[in-house]
């Protein structure tokens, strides 16, 4: 999803003649959270895509960085909505990329 956002931001915001320059390098150094906020604030992604992708990011961080949370997951049903968002968000970003190309 982070790479998808980088591609989308590049396609939508950076002119073709400048894509190998400094601005594109700055996008490469941004993490997922910054890319999501930048994409939303520059109207490249809407609030719906932002919300779903932000939830995926938050869930990923909890699972990776918080062992207590990881072990508290009882079953799939308790996290069904987050799993559904995790599936939808990258697909929506990919569709935005396809529309920009």
CA distance 42 to 63: 29
- The domain of 93 spans 2-100
Q: Which of 99, 64, 91, 101 is nearest to 4 (CA)?
A: 91
pLDDT value, residue 72? 65
Q: pTM of the entire structure?
A: 0.74
Q: What is the pLDDT of residues 3-53, one digit of tens each?
A: 899 999 999 988 888 888 787 788 888 999 999 999 999 999 999 999 989
Please tell me the total count of domains within the chain: 1
């Amino acid at each position: 999803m982070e790479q998808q956002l980088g591609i989308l931001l590049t396609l939508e915001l950076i002119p073709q003649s400048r894509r190998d320059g400094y601005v594109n390098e700055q996008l490469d150094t941004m993490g997922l959270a910054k890319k999501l906020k930048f994409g939303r604030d520059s109207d490249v992604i809407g609030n719906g895509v932002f919300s779903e992708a932000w939830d995926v990011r938050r869930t990923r961080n909890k699972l990776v960085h918080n062992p207590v949370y990881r072990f508290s997951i009882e079953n799939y049903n308790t996290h069904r909505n987050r799993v559904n968002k995790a599936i939808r968000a990258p697909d929506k970003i990919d569709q935005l990329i396809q529309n920009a190309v």
